[in-house]
Amino acid sequence: METLTVGLGERSYPIHIGAGLLSRGELIIPHLAQPRAAIITNSVVAPLYLDPLKKALAGGGVSCIEIVLPDGEERKNWETLNQVYDALLSSRCERSTAVIALGGGVIGDLAGFAASSYQRGVPFIQVPTTLLAQVDSSVGGKTGINHPLGKNMIGAFYQPRVVLADTATLNTLPDRELKAGLAEVIKYGLIRDFAFFEWLEAHVDHLLARDPEALAYAIRVSCQHKAEVVAADERESGVRALLNLGHTFGHAIEAGIGYGKWLHGEAVAAGIVLAADLSRRLGYLGGPEVERIANLVGRAGLPVKAPDLGSDRYLELMGVDKKVVSGKLRFVLLKKIGLAEVCSDVPEPLILETLAGAALHA
Ligand code: NAD
Ligand code: GLY
């Protein structure tokens, strides 16, 4: 097992990474305020991992209520959240009853928002079971739900007390979901670690083949980057915005074609290629670098072409982005591979050229 720390003063917390951690109740129990917890999971993950987790906690004298939600990004909404509040209330969960999220990013985001708001905040624990959740969404405290008008538009910053990333859970993850997680892994190389980008070029086939050592290394490096960025800028007033590389386009894709049609990681992947294209149009990246990025994204089995929603629709959807300030779009762009910055004042004709390129490729 490896343990990293997200350094947030008194709210600092560990990220434990390793195979078989789900059965190690002692990694969770010290973070509970009472010997009772609510596990929030979904109908796909519950048959796989709910019993082992419950058993591990029961071994330490902790009883659990189970809240099993419907699966899917399209269920990351107000109705499902309300279902959670109903279950917490009817089971008489108290202010010191911890919420444990067991699942991917959808469950983690939704359960985290429920934990942040139920009785004005209860202890929260993340047990991520997808690659995407283990490398990104379980760390950093962004929680929330989607709104029909915009992705992740309702939510709160609310940090977990511990993150338990059991890499053995990835054995049951469908290939398409594993690939989607790789989009966020590639993102770290692009925004702040050229050596990691090169490592990914050399090892992407090992990752796709689920080589345990390669996966563990990629998860550790990704979590290290995420932890450093979150410690430096928890509320995204600066450097944390760089973690949104590809997300301005990606969120527009997800909302525009309907939540759940493209996976979040797939939309981010196509968004990364669009962001690289826009970076080239601004004179930051050269054509060969853009090709290199698209090549890695493609080799990871991810889409390099965005769907053709039409430029007007893209602009409308991108206008509902959390990076928008005073009505102006801001993009995370690449100065080079391994170095990103947030750019406002991107000339609209260049954005339209990038989007027109997407239309040509669609
Ligand atoms: P997901 O939660 O929908 O999980 C993907 C699929 O895999 C689901 O069908 C799920 O039931 C299933 N699954 C989960 N674990 C499994 C396992 N071990 N074996 C078999 N099946 C398993 O999707 P995701 O990619 O994990 O997360 C995407 C979500 O995360 C999006 O809503 C996105 O907005 C959010 N996100 C949040 C942050 C953040 O900082 N909070 C960062 C990135 C993404
Ligand atoms: N996934 C982006 C962030 O956590 O800031």
169 CB near ligand 1 (under 6 Å): yes
- Examine the residue annotation and report whether 234 is marked as an active-site residue of this protein: no
Q: Can you spell out the DSSP letters for 277-338?
A: HHHHHTTSS-HHHHHHHHHHHHHTT---S-----HHHHHHHHTT-TT-BTTB--EEEEEETT
264 CB near ligand 1 (under 6 Å): yes
Please tell me whether residue 130 adopts helix, strand or coil conformation: coil
What is the Å distance from ligand 1's center to 135 Cα?
11
Residue bearing the CA closest to ligand 2, atom 2: 243
Q: Write down the catalytic residue from 236, 266, 280, 322.
A: 236
Of the candidates 238, 210, 242, the one whose C-alpha atom is nearest the C-alpha of residue 226 is 242
β-partners of residue 64 are 37
CATH code of the domain occupying 2-172: 3.40.50.1970
- Examine the residue annotation and report whether 305 is marked as an active-site residue of this protein: no
Token pair 């469950």 in the structure block, residue: 107
The confidence score (pLDDT) of residue 359 equals: 54
- Examine the residue annotation and report whether 353 is marked as an active-site residue of this protein: no
Q: Write down the catalytic residue from 152, 244, 281, 330.
A: 244
The confidence score (pLDDT) of residue 322 equals: 80
For the segment 181-221, what is each residue's pLDDT rounded down to a tens digit?
999 999 999 999 999 999 999 999 999 999 999 999 999 99
Name, in order, each residue with C-beta under 8 angstroms of 278's C-beta and a sequence gap of 6 or more: 331, 333, 346, 350, 351, 354
Q: Write down the catalytic residue from 31, 54, 161, 251.
A: 251
Instruction: Dig out the tokens for 173 from the structure.
Output: 């993850």
Instruction: Dig out the tokens for 292 from the structure.
Output: 């290199």
pTM: 0.96
What is the Å distance from ligand 1's center to 128 Cα?
8
The confidence score (pLDDT) of residue 324 equals: 83
**CATH number belonging to the domain at 175-361, selected among 3.30.1600.10, 3.30.70.260, 3.40.710.10, 1.20.1090.10:** 1.20.1090.10
Domain boundaries, the chain: 2-172, 175-361
Q: Which residues of the chain are under the pLDDT cut of 50? A: 360, 362
